[in-house]
């Protein structure tokens, strides 16, 4: 039984290591930040705007998600 648990421990450790490679990479977290910004703007304005309450523009793809306004289209 101990051999069985030991093997599972090493497999779990290996999988955990592979899953966590690059977690600090900015582009992985950029989407999460943008989702939070859109949610906050929906709560504040009622629509998903790209300008936050402080007046800062927050876009991920250099404005490709904008259509002649500050409304987020995706």
Q: Which of 50, 70, 49 is nearest to 60 (CA)?
A: 50
**Residue recorded with tokens 């300008």:** 51
Stretch 19-28: mean pLDDT: 63
When pLDDT is cut at 50, 70 and 90, the band that residue 58 belongs to is low
3-state SS, residue 67: coil
Domain ranges of the chain: 24-74
Q: Which comes out higher in pLDDT, residue 28 or 33? A: 33
């Amino acid at each position: 039984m101990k051999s069985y648990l030991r093997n599972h421990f090493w497999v779990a450790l290996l999988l955990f290591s592979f899953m966590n490679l690059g977690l600090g990479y900015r582009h992985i977290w950029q989407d999460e930040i943008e989702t939070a910004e859109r949610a906050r703007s929906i709560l504040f304005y009622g629509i998903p705007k790209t300008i936050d309450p402080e007046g800062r523009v927050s876009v991920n793809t250099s404005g490709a998600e904008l259509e002649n306004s500050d409304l987020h289209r995706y």
